[in-house]
Chains A and B, each alone.
Chain A
């Protein structure tokens, strides 16, 4: 490619873009944005529409002509959705915290050389990645540990994800050994090396792993379906599943009440907003070059 300076003396990528080029980019980005935003917009608009508007539009509404908060009022009136929202929040926060603690501890231990039984524990963890336990063995384990119909059943069986463990371990192993040696010479023990040196250097990967855990706890419905009997313990994902597919299950028998589409969409909005809201706060960690300058001096 010809990268000789142009008449202005600047390389081509520093030139002002042509009008056509800019227009093209704006058009392309706008189109992509519409494709991305349209489903969200339709979900929000439908949740704000009356049932007859939805039926008249044949499904999803793009602009609510008679906006109403009825669906949201209904969703929050029974206390079921607000209770489920609270349960999901609790499970996500507590679960993510416990998972992070367990995964960090295990990953740090396994990233150090000379740990007794390190290979065995690593192999055991990796084994679960290759061979996942069946539904019934998991169920029996949960039952025998006395966790059936408790919120612990949503957290403990999925406390450590082997994938996340491997990601963290690899990252910890990639940290410069000189840094850790220096810390040790300065008199720090493993605990303080982990908390003072390793973790501050690993913010980016910790943010990613925490997000993986948080999203999986937030979305988990299958464990709740199997292990929870009491509807007051249901997380939002399971309530949402009931509302969205409950009415689809029936054909000839047609057990009546298909939840109104507005209600379905309102629950979708309620379940998406909290998890979407934390993305911007974590985003800065994704882009930060954390290791810049770590080994200076």
Chain B
């Protein structure tokens, strides 16, 4: 389904709200770019752009579990014993800069009372005012700033590879955002070695209308197909996801895992973008990632495929068998995670990065045998399942238009923040100042103090970041499992053929059109509607704009040179 992946992070209503807030600003933007509207409105693709040349760093630490250029994050059991300095001296010499990012934690203390913030700026050689906006409200504030003026130097854009969260995106980029193609395309990126060490797969997400506009904030390519309780699976006779051969096996297992008497169910879901754990079933049944493209360049939407229907029919069976925790479709995500950690649900759809040392520790306190593991999809009819490239980047960072000298300085900030795991700079921007914010344990792993937990909430990692690593200090089993999952998921992860293509209709109507389909979908799974109502919802989607999107994407696909 289009929505869980592309909209998961912001959610439907927020997208709709942002679109509404933008209604006033939209016309201004269109006017700004009107001179070039004809060119910027054209669909384009990453293949047309000369992307930055991937140049791995030669002096990085050796991981315990190696990563790959295709995007598997390297795994580290512990933080390297003697972190190296990525910069001998501050890359900048003075200056004031600004940035804007979302915030998913409590707000950090402001600069004056935050030694970590001060230390980062000292090492950077410049001051950076970060406007941190509560995650859900980010798009509202951004659209207000776009219309009202006053954009900062570095701005996060969270619509990459999904529904654009800024209306008239190409016009906006053209009129207000620096075109990075000439600045860092090809070998020019080598002036910023840490940005150059980000593999090509991440930069491919960063283009619009044939130009490079964003710096990637890399993630692990695939968010996985949910998380499972290996201990509960084992008790039901299945040691690992690898022992599940087909959908019949799976249904038997789900029924086996469900035991209402013990307050235990195979699955739990939550309100919002989970749709009864739909992504798990889509990947098992081999549904394409948003669109499937055939040899002739014809596109088929995921919801139009037989695979999708098979997945949906299977989910209806699972729901009828009582395998979902009753009422969990109204839960918050936190409540679903609680149910999983306490063993009330054995399988949930949650992103792979949700597994962490602290989550593991909470579950182990409740049950010392608890083993929380990433689930890798099998094939419904035997063989392999598919995975999705649904978490390639967290977001992209845009640079406000400025003269080349200023842009070079702003890029140096990004390069500084992209200092990789194992460096002193990474330790500083992630954990703060040693002593006040963290102490090192016997294995050189930072352990945050209470002050550190607050100080380190400054959102440097959303301004710019290096390639992700898998690092769960103290729980090697989890690092092993996550690395293993990434190693299996990344090669089987299907790209979304439209991820770097632009369709004006998708930008304008993508959200509202899919809402009708997902509403029907949840009713079908919940047993309030029949399969035929899903078929008619798909028909409506087609006639209201789905076919239009298809033809726009197809045209963009045809125009894009194939690599």
**CA A136 – CA B105 in complex, angstroms?**
27
Hey, which chain A residues are within 8 Å of B334, CB to CB?
59, 247-248, 258, 261
Closest residue of B by beta carbon distance from A52: B365
> Per-residue CB proximity of A228-255 to B under 8 Å, as 1/0?
0111101000110111011111111111
> Per-residue CB proximity of B444-460 to A under 8 Å, as 1/0?
00000011011100000
Which parts of A115-154 form the interface with B (CB within 8 Å)?
Answer: 134-137, 139-140, 143, 148
- Tell whether A226 is near chain B: CB-to-CB under 8 Å: yes
- Tell whether B550 is near chain A: CB-to-CB under 8 Å: no
- Tell whether B523 is near chain A: CB-to-CB under 8 Å: no
Interface size on A, residues (CB 8 A): 53
Hey, which chain B residues are within 8 Å of A263, CB to CB?
106
**CA A241 – CA B141 in complex, angstroms?**
15
**CA A255 – CA B158 in complex, angstroms?**
13
- Tell whether A259 is near chain B: CB-to-CB under 8 Å: yes
- Shortest beta-carbon distance from B122 to chain A in Å: 20
Tally of contacts, chain A with chain B, CB under 8 A? 188
Which parts of B292-347 form the interface with A (CB within 8 Å)?
Answer: 331-335, 337-339, 341-342, 344
Question: Which segment of A9-17, A71-79, A207-215 sits at the interface?
Answer: A71-79
Hey, which chain A residues are within 8 Å of B14, CB to CB?
249
- Tell whether B230 is near chain A: CB-to-CB under 8 Å: no
Is the pair B107, A231 in contact by a Cβ cutoff of 8 Å? yes
Partner of B11, one of A58, A73, A225, A249: A249
Is the pair B454, A250 in contact by a Cβ cutoff of 8 Å? no
Partner of B148, one of A59, A143, A231, A261: A143
Is the pair B338, A242 in contact by a Cβ cutoff of 8 Å? no
- Shortest beta-carbon distance from B370 to chain A in Å: 10
- Shortest beta-carbon distance from B225 to chain A in Å: 11
Partner of B9, one of A148, A232, A250: A250
Closest residue of A by beta carbon distance from B6: A252
- Tell whether A190 is near chain B: CB-to-CB under 8 Å: no
Question: Which segment of B30-38, B45-53, B75-83, B127-135 sits at the interface?
Answer: B127-135
**CA A56 – CA B141 in complex, angstroms?**
38
Closest residue of A by beta carbon distance from B461: A255
Question: Which segment of B174-182, B351-359, B551-559 sits at the interface?
Answer: B351-359
Hey, which chain B residues are within 8 Å of A134, CB to CB?
24
Is the pair B351, A78 in contact by a Cβ cutoff of 8 Å? no
Is the pair B338, A226 in contact by a Cβ cutoff of 8 Å? no
Is the pair A77, B338 in contact by a Cβ cutoff of 8 Å? no
Query: When A139-B148, A255-B104 are in contact, do A77 and B451 touch as well, CB less than 8 Å?
Result: yes
- Shortest beta-carbon distance from B29 to chain A in Å: 12
Partner of B8, one of A56, A79, A252: A252
- Shortest beta-carbon distance from B40 to chain A in Å: 23
- Tell whether B219 is near chain A: CB-to-CB under 8 Å: yes
- Shortest beta-carbon distance from B255 to chain A in Å: 22
Closest residue of A by beta carbon distance from B331: A59
Partner of A80, one of B108, B129, B140: B108
Query: When A74-B453, A225-B133, A251-B4 are in contact, do A242 and B103 touch as well, CB less than 8 Å?
Result: yes
Is the pair A78, B391 in contact by a Cβ cutoff of 8 Å? no
- Tell whether A257 is near chain B: CB-to-CB under 8 Å: yes
Interface residues on B, range: 35 or more
- Shortest beta-carbon distance from B475 to chain A in Å: 15
**CA A84 – CA B318 in complex, angstroms?**
47
Hey, which chain A residues are within 8 Å of B339, CB to CB?
58
- Tell whether B194 is near chain A: CB-to-CB under 8 Å: no
**CA A54 – CA B339 in complex, angstroms?**
10
Is the pair A249, B136 in contact by a Cβ cutoff of 8 Å? yes
Is the pair A249, B148 in contact by a Cβ cutoff of 8 Å? no
Is the pair A230, B335 in contact by a Cβ cutoff of 8 Å? no
Closest residue of B by beta carbon distance from A84: B107
Which parts of A189-210 form the interface with B (CB within 8 Å)?
Answer: none
Hey, which chain B residues are within 8 Å of A259, CB to CB?
105-106
Partner of A243, one of B106, B131, B219, B333: B106
Hey, which chain A residues are within 8 Å of B272, CB to CB?
248, 251
Is the pair B273, A245 in contact by a Cβ cutoff of 8 Å? no
- Tell whether B390 is near chain A: CB-to-CB under 8 Å: yes
Hey, which chain A residues are within 8 Å of B454, CB to CB?
77-80
- Tell whether B229 is near chain A: CB-to-CB under 8 Å: no
Hey, which chain B residues are within 8 Å of A254, CB to CB?
223, 350-354
Hey, which chain B residues are within 8 Å of A225, CB to CB?
133-134, 137, 140-141
A-B contact pairs, 25 of them (CB 8 A): A58-B339, A58-B344, A59-B334, A77-B454, A78-B451, A78-B455, A79-B113, A136-B25, A139-B144, A225-B133, A225-B137, A231-B107, A246-B104, A247-B334, A248-B333, A250-B104, A250-B135, A250-B351, A251-B9, A253-B9, A253-B391, A254-B350, A256-B354, A257-B104, A258-B334
Q: Give B residues with C-beta under 8 Å from A.
A: 4-5, 8-11, 14, 21, 24-25, 102-110, 112-113, 129, 131-137, 140-141, 144, 147-150, 219, 223, 272-274, 279, 331-335, 337-339, 341-342, 344, 350-354, 356, 362-363, 365-366, 390-391, 394, 450-451, 453-455
Q: Told that A80-B109, A225-B140 touch, could you supply 19 new A-B pairs with CB distance under 8 A?
A: A55-B341, A139-B144, A139-B147, A143-B149, A229-B129, A231-B132, A238-B134, A245-B136, A246-B135, A249-B10, A251-B4, A252-B4, A252-B9, A252-B390, A253-B223, A253-B353, A256-B353, A259-B105, A259-B106
The 4 closest A-B pairs by CB, nearest first: A78-B454, A251-B8, A254-B351, A232-B110
